[in-house]
Amino acid sequence: MPTDTPLAPGNRRAWTNGVLAALTGIFALMAGLFLANLWGRPSRPANPLVDEAFLDTAPWRQSYADLARAKEDLSDFDCYACHEKNEPPPIRYDADLNIIIPEEHETIKMGHGSHQRNNHCFNCHNESNLLVLHTRDGRELSFAESSVLCGSCHGPTYGDWEAGAHGRISGYWDRSRGPAHRLDCVNCHNPHAPRIPSRTPAPPPSPLRGPRTDPSREPTH
């Protein structure tokens, strides 16, 4: 049997008491920290609320009918404020047969179709009466009836639109409870450049553990 520690009994008691007191202190501290939940829940920045612009249900564009209904300024449609009656405006093309938009109409960007066959103003506007539109078969239509004009070329899409399968809708699916609000072609499509432009998407779902800071760690699949 090895002999026990050479410390005197008194010293040994003091040493033991010191260690015990220190250990008790450490345990109490840990218990305090634990209850204060210092590391129990890692803090992370709150998810930002989505921009309310992404919740907007209003159409992108206003049709002539919308403007007339809202009694807004219709001076843009008053062609003969500048043009002269009985004098068809001239149309010029560059060498590639792209139409040259005059300065007065610089807001118009032509892009109707990927070809150049439909860049002629008077395919739709009536050159002898600029206040109306006309179809290829000679029907005259007011600006408020522009959807019919679109339908004179885009028949299948027009049929879908009439049946409710193309275009936006809001309000009531149950027509006995309330009206459904339908939109015209020009509420979404710019008639001069009807392709719907690309747009910025709303933010993607946030990862559970806070925003990813390193873009190279984007999952690739």
- What is the binding site for another protein (CB under 8 A)? 1, 4, 9, 13, 16-17, 20, 23-24, 27-28, 30-31, 34-35, 37, 46-47, 49-50, 54-57, 60, 160, 163-174, 176-178, 180, 183, 188, 196, 198-206, 208, 218-219, 221
- The HSE-up count of residue 71 (CA atoms within 13 Å, CB side) is 0
For residue 150, the Cα-to-chain-centroid distance in whole angstroms is: 25
Residue 134 near residue 124 (C-beta atoms within 8 A): yes
Name the minimum Å distance from CB 21 to another protein.
9
Nearest to another protein of 100, 202 (CB atom): 202
Closest CA to 61 of 194, 201, 150, 198: 194
When the beta carbons of 46 and 82 are compared against another protein, the nearer one is: 46
* CA–CA dist 210, 43 (Å, integer): 9
Give the Cα separation of 47 and 40 in Å (integer).
20
CA 103 to chain centre: 31
Give the residue with the Cβ less far from another protein, 89 or 111: 111
Residue 213: count other Cβ atoms within 10 Å of its Cβ: 6
Smallest gap from residue 13 Cβ to another protein (A)? 5
In the complex, minimum distance from the CB of residue 34 to another protein, in angstroms, rounded to a whole number: 5
Q: In angstroms, rounded to a whole number, what is the distance separating the alpha carbons of residues 151 and 166?
A: 12
DSSP code at position 70:
T
Least distance from another protein to the Cβ atom of residue 89, Å: 34
The least distance separating another protein from the CB of residue 204, rounded to whole angstroms, comes to 4
CA 20 to chain CA centroid, nearest Å: 66
Q: Which is nearer to another protein, 83 or 168 (CB)?
A: 168
Burial class of residue 149 (count of CB atoms within 10 Å of its CB; 0-12, 13-18, 19+): buried
**Residue number with CB closer to another protein (41 or 71):** 41
Residue closer to another protein (CB basis): 100 or 180 = 180
3-state secondary structure of 15: helix
Tell me the closest approach of the beta carbon of residue 173 to another protein, in angstroms: 5
